[in-house]
Structure 1
């Protein structure tokens, strides 16, 4: 397996009022260590762009832990812009490991 990732078309808990059914949300992008350093994320991003455009979506959005500056810089190098730093709510609708965590929200306009 080369990599895995998940796609959502809404993310109201994290993106709140910006979640207007106009974005593809990439989550949990993980590349097999055997393939690291080979720009596999570019393949995921190219697919996401094409898929989003086919669905008439305007944005690709992602988030990651704000403290992970290496990953933050990596996503910026692919053209993502920081939309916001946000602390997730501490509520039952969110898995416990994602509660009350500072994240950085990334957005790419298509």
Structure 2
């Protein structure tokens, strides 16, 4: 297993995984991901913020990162944090608890970039996902109404945000 930045040649596979994840969300929950704009993913790739986990030459899982997320985190965005977004797993690799592996990677990546927190959000009351993130070491901070959703993907308009935070264990 390796974790590396996604490249432009990965875009079709990234969108395939988003479509699969969205269809799963639609089958289980009211809130689901919209179709993401291709330019968003291209920008993340160019800025080295789109990641992939590769197993046996296949993309097993993808996610995006940023060091700023003011629209969702408000004043707390001034804290030095790594934000993780849009984890999507290849169905051929489901059940491997990739969030735990991403968190292990994120701990190191955050330390290398002088961050003190790893943060995530989800939209709506997905109790299973909330419990899963808690088991992965995140503190569940509760539901929050966002001040503005302008510029955010459409699903942020459908429900309140659930916020999660994990303090980096071993700071440099």
Normalised to the residue count of structure 1, the TM-score between the two structures is: 0.91
Stretches of 4+ moved more than 4 A in 1?
A: none
Counterpart position of 2:62:
4
Shift of 1:20: 1.1
Counterpart position of 1:69:
127
Does residue 106 of structure 2 align to residue 48 of structure 1? Answer: yes
* 1:54-86: CA deviation from partner (whole Å, max 9, x where unpaired): 111000000012311100000000110012311
Q: Pick closer, same or farther for the CA change 1:99–1:14 going to 2, 3 Å.
A: same
What value does the CA root-mean-square deviation take over the aligned residues? Answer: 1.5
Does residue 74 of structure 2 align to residue 16 of structure 1? Answer: yes
Counterpart position of 1:99:
157
Where structure 2 has 5 or more consecutive residues not aligned to the other structure, the ranges are 1-58
Where structure 1 has 5 or more consecutive residues not aligned to the other structure, the ranges are none
Query: Higher Cα Rg: structure 1 or 2?
Result: 2
Compare the two structures and name the one with the higher helix fraction. 2
Q: Secondary structure at the match of 1:84?
A: strand
- 2:93 aligned residue (35, 42, 45): 35
Higher relative contact order (CA 8 A, sep 6+): 1
Shift of 1:19: 0.3
